[in-house]
Structure 1
Amino acid sequence: MTEDGFRRSYKGESYNLGLAVYSCGLQRCRPSHSWGPAVRDHYLIHYIVRGKGRFTSGGKKWELQAGDAFLIQPSTIVSYEADLTYPWEYDWVGFNGSDAKHLLRQTGLLDMEPVFHCPPENRFHMLLADIIAVSGSSCSAEARMESGLLRFLAELMDTFGTHVPSSDNSYSYVQKAIQFIDRNYAGSIDIEKIAQSAGVSRSHLYRLFMAYINMPPNEYLTRYRINKAAAFLKDGGLTVGEAAYSAGFADQLYFSRVFKKYMGMPPSKFSGSTAKEGLLHGKE
């Protein structure tokens, strides 16, 4: 396998709000191949299959080899480099979503150093290979990747998470808020109503969302609605106006601006001819 001979799967247009695989693959690096220093916008776990390399985070450097792994958290400046004489080969999986931090907390990894050594009898390589094997951009492939990711995280919980409390009361407030959004996104809801549904203040809800989801609740609501609108346009054959209203956007022009911000294109261009022109004030 050459350095370019690896498989990757990227998250598609929709924004999965629970748990989503962003990328996965197996890479055999050339000598001194490096990445960073830079940041990621999602969680990323590398498992070293063979070879050696270096990982740097927070000004600290680790020399790693087969059986070691490292976790990159969002917005953390890191860098890593393959060894000059025995460059590493590693599996990786990148992921995020509203449940990602909660699940990672159950693994115990968030309370450890970003690097960790896996026991010899571990199944991590096999579980990551399973995710890579089903990678793709279709809905069924995404479901299979997420299923594989859950099995991988469960294995991490069994291996490293023995001292993690089984319950997390703070996260239950986030779950209540997310459930309220899921049931009421199409209506006239705001952060005050969402906080009331969860039984917390607006300020506390903000802190909980930042702690568990890495985004404020108003951005979560907007992303959720945009995701729903994208699904309506792609799969429901709705006009732009119909999709906007169905997703909870009363102002269609505002919807078009926000949609383009998050999806990288205006809604009328989304999914080709599936998204029909339907603006109240003419074409975009």
Structure 2
Amino acid sequence: MERAIFLRKDKKQINGDLVFDFCGVSQTMPFHSFGPAIRENFVLHVVLEGKGIYQVKDQQFQLEKGDLFLVRPNELTFYRADGKNPWLYAWIAFSGESAEKIIQETLLKKNAYTMKTSKMQQFVQYILNCLSFQQNDLSSELQLNAITNQFLAELLQDQGHIYFAEEKIYSPLTIEAMEYIQKNYQKDITVTEIAEALSVNRSHLSRVFSNHLTTTIKDYLTGVRINQAAFLLSFGEDSIETISEAVGFNSLVVFSRAFKKSTGETASHYRKRMKENQFQDVSLDRLKIQLEQQKIISRAT
């Protein structure tokens, strides 16, 4: 589950060599994950607070505040927030014939995917500037494309440094297990059933999964369920008991304990707080104030 403010432009009136696609800012919950998935765009993320992991090809990166990570088109990627200190990140997505050429001129050239930036505040400000263009007209589109160009010009000048993966632990089996969980978490599945579905030994699957993601299959499954429950609590009107059943818990008591352990609050308190203060409904001005208070951007910007 993410609490996000975002902007997306699907219908473009012009097609240039470099075009803005979407951007946003998200505060994630513990163990919130995206993927495994393939994007059609370049998506550049800026980690503002917290920690998480990013996996691409046979590489895994441990990332924190001040790091950038790049998702390239047509590459399978996965990223997940830390369980104790989940990340707050901003992102901008772009495409076009010049996109690859520009990236190849930055520190993220060739097979580089992550870097420590020296320009975090500037990058965040560009993304906030994009979020102010909510109109779906040609003028906004041109200005969003211009900001994207400025963002990448800043990236070209970034004097940060590249990260190299700490370990190479690519595991197709783990990816298969994650995909199975994503498709079947609503059911009363067990680790044994997952192993049988993938035609592997249970112990072998558990060992490979833990080595790959530094968490157990059971905890990952619980995290997926809690993330979905948080989404339903935030945006739906069903009872907590109905939601607990919908995400795969066969006991309201077990769900309640798991939800509080994961989020630090009861499901009812979480729902009340989210209804009163939806991050999706936060104005851009309020978001800027929040980022100023966290010293992510300065008051002068």
Interval of TM-score (by shorter of Structure 1 and Structure 2): 0.5 to 0.7
Contact 1:48 1:66 in 2 (8 A): yes
Aligned to 1:236: none
- Partners of 2:90 and 2:105 in 1: CA distance: 22
Aligned to 1:18: 17
In the superposition, relative to structure 1, how do residues 128 and 121 fare at CA in structure 2: closer, same or farther (>3 Å)? closer
Aligned to 1:74: 73
Paired AA for residue 113 in structure 2: P
Aligned to 2:250: none
- Partners of 1:122 and 1:6 in 2: CA distance: 18
Paired AA for residue 94 in structure 2: F
TM-score by length of 2: 0.50
Counterpart mapping for 1:192-271 below 5 A: none
Q: What's the Cα RMSD here?
A: 2.3
Secondary structure at the aligned position of 2:105 is classed as helix
**Deviations, residues 55-94 of structure 1 (Å, cap 9, x unaligned):** 0001211111110010111111100011111110111011
Secondary structure at the aligned position of 2:109 is classed as helix
Aligned to 1:147: 146
- Partners of 2:22 and 2:34 in 1: CA distance: 16
1:114 aligns with 2:98: no
Deviation at 1:48, TM superposition (A): 0.5
Q: Percent sequence identity over matched residues?
A: 27
Deviation at 1:9, TM superposition (A): 1.6
Paired AA for residue 49 in structure 1: L
Whichever of the two has the greater Rg, that structure is 1
Paired AA for residue 22 in structure 2: S
Contact 1:135 1:145 in 2 (8 A): no
In the superposition, relative to structure 1, how do residues 109 and 151 fare at CA in structure 2: closer, same or farther (>3 Å)? same
Paired AA for residue 33 in structure 1: H
Which stretches in structure 1 are left out of the alignment for 5+ residues? Answer: 162-284
Runs of 4+ in 1 over 4 A off after TM superposition: none
- Partners of 1:49 and 1:121 in 2: CA distance: 8
1:36 aligns with 2:32: no
Counterpart mapping for 1:55-204 below 5 A: 55-111=54-110, 113-119=112-118, 123-160=122-159
Deviation at 1:4, TM superposition (A): 3.3
TM-score by length of 1: 0.52
- Partners of 1:115 and 1:34 in 2: CA distance: 18
Aligned pair count? 161
Deviation at 1:123, TM superposition (A): 1.8
Q: Does 1 or 2 have the higher relative contact order (CA < 8 Å, sep 6+)? A: 2
Aligned to 1:50: 49
Paired AA for residue 47 in structure 1: V
Deviation at 1:25, TM superposition (A): 0.5
